[in-house]
Each structure stands twice: as structure tokens, then as C-alpha cells.
A and B are shown apart, each in its own frame.
Chain A
Amino acid sequence: MKNGASKQITDQTRDSAFLEDVRKTVAGKKILNCIQCGVCAGSCHARFAMDCSPMQIIKMIHLGLKNDVLASSTIWICASCYTCTSRCPQGIDIPLLMSSLKNMAIENKVPAKIPTKPKFHKTFTEIVGKYGRMHEPQLQVALMNKKSPKELFKNARLGMKLWRKGKVKISPSRVNKKSDLEAIFQNALKKEEQK
């Protein structure tokens, strides 16, 4: 299967195992209930930035178009605002579905259409792993495109502005019981790899 949108739907481009994998996830349980009404697409506040609508993603899952789904920008752009789910006639948890699809994309080594996002998830989690809480400056620095002088300057300016307002905590806030963190991270992530 090639990366990117498949031109035709044939038994060569469909992967029914993909549908079954999605159905095994918490959000994907009811995925076949979708009648493709489009209320999710109509409600989506980030739709303008997506290549496919949430409705189309679900249709592609129905048909097992694995690569189309995992290579889309949709799964990365979803802002988890939950407008879609609150109006979906079948109550499908679409942001949670998108989150699971992000997992699958990473597992299947499909390059993310928005490369900053998987980096964001990984970095955020690593920082929380270190301190038990988020440390915004570290996250900002890690994600910044250090090769772009324009962006460096912009971020520096924002940083200064916030610093002057007392909104920047230089030393990270920490959780005292580090052992708790170690245990949780080890157990949760270990089991992930075991799969």
C-alpha cells in the first residue's frame, strides 16, 4: 500500500483487519453505528484545517482504508473540543477515536501529517515523567523550530513578555513522591510495549 490517498476502493486497497483493530478500542466500539450523517463535520471547529472531515475518517475506517486514515492531517488537527460528540446521533466519542488513531499511526510508523504533534505528545509526557507536572518553558523550547530565526525571535519575545508579567516559572514544579511517578510510568508504559 502506498502512502497517501488511495485512488480507488478495491480489495487491494482495503484492510478489514484495520476495522477490527479500531473496533477493539474504547471509542471504536460503536464505529459501525455511524450513519454518515455529517453532523460531526458540520460542527467541527477545526474542519477548515483538515484534509478529511471526521465523518470521512469514519467512512474510511468502515472500508479499511488504513493508510488514508493514519496519514491524514485530521487525526492530528482534532482539537478535542467535543462539539461533534455532543451532537452525534450515535454518541460516538470522536476525539477519543482520533487519539487512538494517533497511537496507531505511531505504532504503524506512519509519518504524521503534522510532524510537530507526535513530538508534542512525546515531549509533554516525558516532562511529566520527570517532574510529575508540566513545565511550560521546557516544552516550548523542545518544540520550537530552532532552525528558524523568525520563530526563535518570536518565541523569545513572547517569553520576555510573559516573564515580565510573572507568568513564567523558571524552576519546574515537582511532585514529591518520585517513586509514585516511577512506578506509574514504568507499569503503564511497559505494558504498552509488551503488546
Chain B
Amino acid sequence: MKYAYFPGCSLESSAKEYEMSFKAVNKVLGIEAVEISDWNCCGSIDAVHAYSPKLSLSLSARNFALAETMNADIVALCSACFFTLSRANKMLREDSKLKGTVDKIINDAGLKFTGEAKVRHYLDVLVNDIGLEKIAQNVKVPLKGLKIVAYYGCLLVRPPQIRSFDDPEHPVSMDKIVEALGAESLDYSDRTRCCGASLVLTDEIVMLEMTKDLLLSAKNIGADCIVTPCPMCHFNLDAKQKDIESHFDLKIDIPILYITQLMGIAFGVDPKELGLNRNVVPVNKVLEKLKTPVQVAPKA
């Protein structure tokens, strides 16, 4: 089954390892994800929408127009992009006046879209299209002994009015994948609590406070690592972990992996291919816990 892959801006830079491990996992599972040619910024409901709602919708619409020529479902990795595109899709399908306005804006660029292309997140594809059985079948290195916190973040599952591939309060899709890989998915009560990603550049203190709670509650239940499907959340949990430690005078030291990186490890993929050396908090601790330890030399 073919998918129209929408990377989103952070996948090329700060979340490079997500894309790398995504491609590696796709190879193993036989998923054909073709990058949407010449895609643009999703339209960012947080950043662009507040400046100009019409611009935000139009940017989303251009991506739909490009994807529709591919005749495939759009698959996003970034939760924020996923949400932006989902909501734009819904708004434009339901409000014909709004669609008319956006049509006029993008028609000048020779673009047309119907809004038919479905917008999905990769987790949805993994659990519902590929299936847990197939995932389990491809496990070469069972992650036995690993205690993992599956952290979903907020925009992946909320609001349920827009899409509902998983429960907005108690999602289970990532937990199920973690278990299919052989690890223990801990009972984490903050799985959908917001990390404050939209505030990282403008109101850092608030964001640090929000992410700190997530890290502490994971630490308190003895997590070996946290897995997440969103590059925004990953950045806050991983790249900013040191800042949180110093600001609040704490010691956390929990590696943060992308769900695709975790899958890659379990599938026996070469750690370099998974970009494991790019995670800021070193992931060696996690790998050492495995029965068949996998080594990775940290890059600097």
C-alpha cells in the first residue's frame, strides 16, 4: 500500500533521526511511503494561523493539491502537522464558503484540490494497516526487560471531533506496539499531557515546567526510556532535558527515543541507520539493558 509522505519542517533538521528510522522501519515492513514532491509548511495551526487563518488554510490546501495527484492517503509523522492538516481538511470539507475562499487563493497558483485525500498519522498506519502481528513477526531483538513509557502528547489524539484513531484520554496504540516488540509498557498517567512545544521559543519557562512534570512522573515509575511519535515533544523531552535539570536542580537522565527508533532496534536494524547517535540524551543506557546488547558510538 502506497502512502503520500508529508515530512514537515523539523523532520529535515532537528528531528532527522525520526525520518531516518522511519525509512528503516518502512523497509522492514514493506511500507511504500513516497515523499510529497515540493511540499510546503503544513500551515501550522499554532504559528501561522494566529498570524493569518486564511494563509494557514491555503498552505495546507497546497499540500492537499500536491498529494491528491498521488492518489494515496497522506501520512504525517509530526503530530502538529498531522493535526494542522486534519483540521484544515475537515474545515474545508464542511464549510463550502471557506473552501471557496481558499480555492480562489490557490487557484492563482494553478492548484486545485477536492479535500478527498485522507490525513493519517504513521501510528494509525502501523496499528491499523500493518497490524501488530506483522510488527511482532519482524522482531529480531525482543526488547525484554525494557520498561518503557509511551508518551503520546496532545495533538496526536485530540480533539476527538477531528479524528479518532485512538482514545483521546487513554490511547493504547503505541503501548500495543511497545508490547508487540517485547518490552513492558508502563502504566503512565501523563501519556497525553501537553509538553508545551508551542511555547519553547516564546515562553521557555512555562514549557520547561510542563515538560519537567512529564519527565519526573516517568522517572518515578522507573522508566528506562520514553518513546514518542512527535518531533516537537521529542525536542522538549530530549534536547531540553539538560536545561530542565539545571533550571529545577534535578537529575533525570532518561533517554528519549522515537517509536520508529525503538522499532528499528527491535527489528535488528543497524543503529547508524536509526540515527541513534543524534539523540541528545545518550541512548546507550537503553541498549545495554537488552539481552543482546547493541552498541552505538555517540557522535561527540
Determine if B280 and A175 form an interchain contact, defined as CB atoms under 8 angstroms apart. no
Determine if B55 and A121 form an interchain contact, defined as CB atoms under 8 angstroms apart. no
- Is B186 positioned at the interface, with any CB of A under 8 Å from its CB? no
Determine if A102 and B50 form an interchain contact, defined as CB atoms under 8 angstroms apart. yes
- Is B209 positioned at the interface, with any CB of A under 8 Å from its CB? yes
Interface SS of A by simple majority? helix
- Is B104 positioned at the interface, with any CB of A under 8 Å from its CB? yes
Please, what's the 1-or-0 string for B19-52, where 1 marks a CB less than 8 Å from any CB in chain A?
A: 0000000000000000000111100111111111
Q: Given that A79-B197, A79-B198 are contacting pairs, would A48 and B209 also be in contact in the complex, using a CB cutoff of 8 Å?
A: yes
Determine if B40 and A128 form an interchain contact, defined as CB atoms under 8 angstroms apart. yes
Determine if A187 and B155 form an interchain contact, defined as CB atoms under 8 angstroms apart. no
Cβ of A165: which chain B residues have Cβ within 8 Å of it? 277-280, 299-300
Set A46, A91, A161: member contacting B206, Cβ < 8 A: A46
- Is B159 positioned at the interface, with any CB of A under 8 Å from its CB? yes
- Which chain B residues numbered 192 to 247 have a C-beta less than 8 Å away from chain A? 192-194, 196-199, 201-203, 206, 209-210, 239, 243
A158–B235 Cα distance when bound, in Å, is 12
Determine if B106 and A184 form an interchain contact, defined as CB atoms under 8 angstroms apart. yes
Determine if B196 and A116 form an interchain contact, defined as CB atoms under 8 angstroms apart. no
- Is A110 positioned at the interface, with any CB of B under 8 Å from its CB? no
- Which chain B residues numbered 1 to 21 have a C-beta less than 8 Å away from chain A? 9-10, 12-16
Cβ of A119: which chain B residues have Cβ within 8 Å of it? 202
Set A46, A86, A117, A161: member contacting B210, Cβ < 8 A: A46
- Is B105 positioned at the interface, with any CB of A under 8 Å from its CB? yes
Please, what's the 1-or-0 string for A134-175, where 1 marks a CB less than 8 Å from any CB in chain B?
A: 111001100100000000001000100110111111000101
Q: Given that A26-B91, A121-B48, A173-B12 are contacting pairs, would A79 and B196 also be in contact in the complex, using a CB cutoff of 8 Å?
A: yes
Determine if A184 and B161 form an interchain contact, defined as CB atoms under 8 angstroms apart. no
Interface size on A, residues (CB 8 A): 65
Closest residue of chain A to B205, judged by CB? A49
- Which chain B residues numbered 154 to 171 have a C-beta less than 8 Å away from chain A? 154-155, 158-161, 168-169
Q: Given that A121-B48, A133-B9, A183-B108 are contacting pairs, would A164 and B300 also be in contact in the complex, using a CB cutoff of 8 Å?
A: yes
Determine if A82 and B155 form an interchain contact, defined as CB atoms under 8 angstroms apart. yes
A176–B300 Cα distance when bound, in Å, is 35
- Is A114 positioned at the interface, with any CB of B under 8 Å from its CB? yes
A177–B104 Cα distance when bound, in Å, is 18
Closest residue of chain A to B101, judged by CB? A191
Please, what's the 1-or-0 string for A58-84, where 1 marks a CB less than 8 Å from any CB in chain B?
A: 000000000000000000110111110
- Is A23 positioned at the interface, with any CB of B under 8 Å from its CB? no
Set B39, B51, B83, B105: member contacting A124, Cβ < 8 A: B51
- Is A125 positioned at the interface, with any CB of B under 8 Å from its CB? yes
A18–B52 Cα distance when bound, in Å, is 19
- Which chain A residues numbered 33 to 54 have a C-beta less than 8 Å away from chain B? 45-46, 48-49
Determine if A162 and B239 form an interchain contact, defined as CB atoms under 8 angstroms apart. yes
Determine if A121 and B206 form an interchain contact, defined as CB atoms under 8 angstroms apart. no
Please, what's the 1-or-0 string for A90-104, where 1 marks a CB less than 8 Å from any CB in chain B?
A: 010101100110110
Cβ of A49: which chain B residues have Cβ within 8 Å of it? 203, 206, 209
Determine if B160 and A86 form an interchain contact, defined as CB atoms under 8 angstroms apart. yes
Set B13, B47, B154: member contacting A83, Cβ < 8 A: B154
> Can you name 11 extra interface pairs (CB under 8 A) apart from A76-B203, A161-B280, A162-B280?
A45-B210, A82-B158, A86-B168, A133-B12, A165-B279, A167-B13, A179-B109, A184-B55, A184-B59, A184-B109, A188-B54
Q: Please list 16 pairs of residues, one from A and one from B, whose beta carbons are closer than 8 Å in the complex, sorted by A's number.
A: A26-B95, A49-B206, A79-B154, A79-B198, A79-B210, A86-B160, A99-B49, A117-B203, A121-B50, A158-B243, A165-B278, A167-B278, A173-B9, A180-B110, A184-B108, A192-B52
List chain B positions with a Cβ less than 8 A from chain A: 9-10, 12-16, 38-41, 44-55, 58-59, 62, 83, 91, 95, 98, 101, 104-106, 108-111, 154-155, 158-161, 168-169, 192-194, 196-199, 201-203, 206, 209-210, 239, 243, 277-280, 299-300
